[in-house]
A and B are shown apart, each in its own frame.
Chain A
């Protein structure tokens, strides 16, 4: 069964610094996608970054990058040069074979001025 674990319920970081959010997962699939979504207090879930498991290169989107370790089933999100607008809940997600998106419990990130 697909499971996603986020072990950091809350984190904080100073503006302009770097923070890493952790995620581990379990799946029996060999080819799959992994996602990080951001949910600000306004509630809209926004895609941050996507990683394809068959690609060895880690995905990068501007200040957001991932450290994907397939053998360890680890998928962490690094946010560089943190901005106040990065304050949000961050969810790690893994689709099941029927494309039901399994989400972790989330990490609440606060960026402090």
Chain B
């Protein structure tokens, strides 16, 4: 069974630029999560989708972050404009249902200069 795929693996941008991350969850998984992991900390949820609907985006900085999950499969997370404090690893995870085990992708390491 293929795992959660993410791209790119690394991205370096300058502040005020925009960036987008892509995630392909495990086939058949209805729930998709985006987490932000700052160095030395545990991941923190940014947004949760159930199929193509948003379940929880209370911790998403909506003035600069946006996310979508078209057709209830792949998802993209965008930051525009980026700030220095956005430097982190962005993890995508999926689960069969909302209450099930979450499986994580390899993450995208973002560096904002």
Interface, chain A (partner B; CB < 8 A): 4, 33, 35, 37, 42-47, 50, 91, 93, 95, 98-101, 103-106
Contact = CB atoms under 8 A, between A and B. Distances in A.
Given A99-B98, A105-B42, A106-B42, A43 B109 contact: yes
B72 interface: no
Interface stretch (B20-28, B73-81, B99-107): B99-107
A44 B56 contact: no
Interface of B: 31, 33, 35, 40-45, 48, 55-56, 89, 91, 93, 95, 98-99, 101-107, 109
Nearest to A105: B42
Given A45-B91, A45-B104, A103-B42, A95 B99 contact: yes
B90 to A, nearest CB: 11
A84 to B, nearest CB: 21
B56 A45 contact: no
B105 A98 contact: no
What is the interface of chain B mostly: helix, strand, loop, or mixed?
strand
A99 B101 contact: no
Nearest to B106: A44
Contact of A43 (B48, B89, B103): B89
Nearest first, the 6 A-B pairs at minimum CB distance are A103-B42, A45-B104, A99-B98, A100-B45, A44-B106, A43-B107
Contacts of A47: 101, 103
Contact of A42 (B44, B91, B106): B106
Nearest to B97: A99
Contacts of B99: 33, 95, 99
Contacts of A105: 40-42
A45 B43 contact: yes
A29 B33 CA distance: 22
B106 A43 contact: yes
Contact of B95 (A91, A99, A103): A99
Considering residues A33, A98, A100, which has the most beta carbons from chain B within 10 angstroms of its beta carbon? A100
Given A35-B101, A99-B98, A104 B89 contact: no
